[in-house]
Amino acid sequence: MPDFDSLPPGTFCWPELSTTDQNAGVAFYRNLFGWNVNEQPMGPGEMYSMFEMRGRAVAAAYTMRPEERQHGAPPHWNSYVTVTKADDAAKRAQELGGKVLAPAFDVMDAGRMAILQDPTGAIFQVWEPKRHTGARILGEPGALCWTELATRDTTTAKKFYTSLFGWKEKTSTGAGMNYTEFSVGDTPGAGMMEMNAQMTGVPPHWMPYFMVSDCEASASKAKELGGAFLVPPTDIPNVGRFAVIRDPQGAVFAIFKMSRS
């Protein structure tokens, strides 16, 4: 079983849903992935919904902050990367041409984080773990298995992230497009694609993929629960089958079924 009690720096460690209707969002993902929910108080009248499998945290959800709404942000998934020091990562990101949207700050005794934006416009978080490691299951049905950047400047993004996190990169061409795979050491965990004309008006972004045991069945269930297909179940030759889904509140994520070896 792919259980983790710690994760190497540079690993996407935590998918976090920011939504306008927390109760409805939690119900959607619980029904879709079979997640249990552990509600954690995070302030007066506020709860942090920790999604769990086998008693181990895999993701979370919270009600979108007023400042996020003021900036016009739609419901979305935040993507966190494990780092040794959040302050150092934020400083380095700025040196590499990124922006620090929120300087490093403590999240009680759970860890320390910063909110950053890469030079192409995509927003991500860095996480310095303390009590909370992040996802304690990765790469099995119901858990995070991949995180993907869509951007209009892959050259700049590639240089930024490999310099910031020390990722190895491998770019290949297939189906008329270039795709970059990022690895921590020898372990692939993220990818990057160039945004096309069909994505006009969509800002650069990171998107989580959750593994499923049956892509068709999970996609159909998501639709029954009020989700919508942005990409219907589609084959990636020699890799697997995926679908991109918008949840009922508007947050976008993907599901993935790996091909048999």
Q: CA of 35: how far to CAs of 58, 65, 156, in Å? A: 9, 24, 37
Q: For residues 105 and 18, state if they share a domain.
A: yes
Quote the pLDDT of residue 144: 98
The packing angle between helices 86-95 and 154-165, to 10°, is 140
Give 124-178 pLDDT, tens digit per residue.
999 999 999 999 999 999 999 999 999 999 999 999 999 999 999 999 987 678 9
Claim to verify: residue 125 and residue 148 sit in the same structural domain: no
pLDDT at residue 252, as a whole number: 97
The pLDDT, as a whole number, for residue 71 is: 74
The two three-digit tokens of residue 217, written as one number: 């069945």
Supply the range of the domain harboring residue 161.
Answer: 144-258
Neighbours of 48 (CB within 10 A): 18
Q: What is the pLDDT of residues 77-102, one digit of tens each?
A: 999 999 999 999 999 999 999 999 99
Q: What is the mean pLDDT of residues 234-259?
A: 95
Q: Are residues 122 and 152 in the same domain?
A: no
Is residue 241, in this structure, part of any structural domain at all?
yes
Closest CA to 151 of 114, 124, 174: 124
pLDDT number for residue 225: 98
Helix axes 215-224, 22-33, angle to 10 degrees: 150
Q: Is pLDDT above 90 for 55?
A: yes
Distance CA 242, CA 257 (A): 6
Asked which of 86, 103, 129 is the last residue of a domain, the reply is 129
Give the CATH number, domain containing residue 38: 3.10.180.10
**122 in a domain, yes or no?**
yes
Specify whether 153 is located in the same domain as 229: yes
Q: What is the pLDDT of residue 247?
A: 98
The answer to whether residue 72 scores a pLDDT higher than 90 is no
Q: How confident is the model at residue 261 (pLDDT cuts 50, 70, 90)?
A: low
Q: Is the pLDDT of residue 248 over 60?
A: yes
Residue 171: CB atoms within 10 Å: 11
Whether 153 and 219 map to the same domain: the answer is yes
In a domain, 2, yes or no: no
Q: Of 129, 154, 185, which closes a domain?
A: 129
Number of domains making up the chain: 2
